[in-house]
Amino acid sequence: MNTLKKMQVLSDSAQYDVCDHVNHYRKSDVNLPGIHNATVPGGCKIPLFKTLMTNKCVNDCKYCINQSKRNFTRLELSPDELARAFLNYYYNDYVQGLFLSSGIARDVDDTMEKMLDAVKILRKNYGYDDYIHFKVIPGASKDTIKRTMTLANRVSLNIESATPDGMSEISSNKDYNKDILKRIGWINSISKRKNSIMCSSSTTQMIVGANDESDVEILSRIKSLYKNYDLSRSYFSSFSPIEGTELEKKTECNKQRTNKLYHADTLLNTYKFDLKELVFEENDQLSLKDDPKYLAALERDIFPLEINSVPFYELIRVPGIGTISAKRIMAIRKKKPFTKLEELKKIGVVVDRAEPFIKLEGNYQVVLDNY
Ligand code: SF4
């Protein structure tokens, strides 16, 4: 099979690795396999070549297209083949970076070595110095992780579930504490050795709806990863049943659920909300209808807040005020107090949402009970 055909298959198999939270299936305008838009450190979006080294895998993750029990064509790119295919895209300006993942053909470190060989060829033989996101394989040795982090700009290791029990529901091979949490800890400690390390950030990914874990369990785990391991961000992949897997008859995860998890994740990570501030339904799930920030605000008795004096951490708890508009408010009110809603609208506040929760110069804008 020629390289282009292999890339078609392997990049399709890589689509379940999320690299953009808005729409991770969106592909670039160029009709070539493996090109996906992605959000990179710093927040900009760039087109990446996203592929697996191989779709062979010895593991049996029940949700996964590549799991060992599925019967389909298995392929592998050699490190040199992958490097040349990527550079062909790169030099033609189709992509600005590489997102490299893999199934486990024989064992974990053999796979990591092959992936590392591809990256080394790019960096050392061809002098490629642009963006590389490298998916560390669960169970990888500390040495291979360390060497990866001297060559890649970002690494990630998919945590997949929130608890060890949740993991055993979906995979019989992966040891949650040893193969995943311990390795995420290593990534964090290695990233602090600034001298020889190129990698500036790490992320993870959870699959939502493949097991019975609740949103409380998922967000508790994510919050603890942010706190203990300096994780840059987390991605949520909505479970979707794949033919030929044990979960082929399981119901697809409602996309609204992952959307709400992303909202809640932003509140925990960027807005520094405590998990206790979020509102969950009786089954420990987020509401699929309402915005988590709005529901959290309804539960707090701090509102209405005076826009001209409230501290930053309370200002960003107002629905309709994000971190950027809050910073603008802080800067402007030092020179002149806000007196009209129109002034807030001009700097990006979503006034319709914020209005019931704020006061301007002591005047309450709308009575919340009547809203
Ligand atoms: S380790 Fe699990 S999730 Fe990763 S490719 Fe293999 S079967 Fe799929």
- At residue 296, the pLDDT reads 97
**What is the CATH number assigned to the segment(s) 300-370?**
1.10.150
Q: Report the residue among 16, 61, 136 best suited for mutation to probe ligand 1: largest number of ligand atoms under 8 A from its CB.
A: 61
The tens digit of pLDDT for each residue in 135-186 reads: 999 999 999 999 999 999 999 999 999 999 999 999 999 999 999 999 999 9
Amino acid of residue 220: S
Confidence label for 366 from pLDDT (cuts 50, 70 and 90) = low
Q: Report the residue among 9, 12, 57 best suited for mutation to probe ligand 1: largest number of ligand atoms under 8 A from its CB.
A: 57
Q: Is 79 in the pocket of ligand 1 (CB under 6 A)?
A: no
CATH of 3-277, one of 3.40.50.80, 3.20.20.70, 1.10.1370.10, 3.40.640.10: 3.20.20.70
Q: Is 55 in the pocket of ligand 1 (CB under 6 A)?
A: no
Amino acid of residue 169: E
Q: Is 103 in the pocket of ligand 1 (CB under 6 A)?
A: yes
DSSP assigned state of 160 = B
Domain ranges of the chain: 3-277, 300-370
CA of 37 to the centre of ligand 1 (A): 23
Alpha-carbon dihedral angle through residues 272, 274, 279, 282, given to the nearest 10 degrees: 140
Specify burial of residue 203 (Cβ count, 10 A radius: 0-12, 13-18, 19+): buried
Q: Is 119 in the pocket of ligand 1 (CB under 6 A)?
A: no
- Residue 369 pLDDT exceeds 60: no
* Cβ proximity of 132 and 98 under 8 Å: yes
Question: Residues of the chain with pLDDT > 70: what percent?
Answer: 93
DSSP assigned state of 355 = G
The tens digit of pLDDT for each residue in 44-99 reads: 788 999 999 999 999 999 999 999 999 888 999 999 999 999 999 999 999 999 99
DSSP assigned state of 45 = E
Residues 6+ apart with CB under 8 A from 229: 184, 185, 187, 188, 202
* Cβ proximity of 137 and 152 under 8 Å: no
Q: Is 59 in the pocket of ligand 1 (CB under 6 A)?
A: yes
Residues 6+ apart with CB under 8 A from 241: 63, 247, 248, 249, 250, 251, 252
Q: How far apart are CA 237 and CA 223, in angstroms?
A: 17
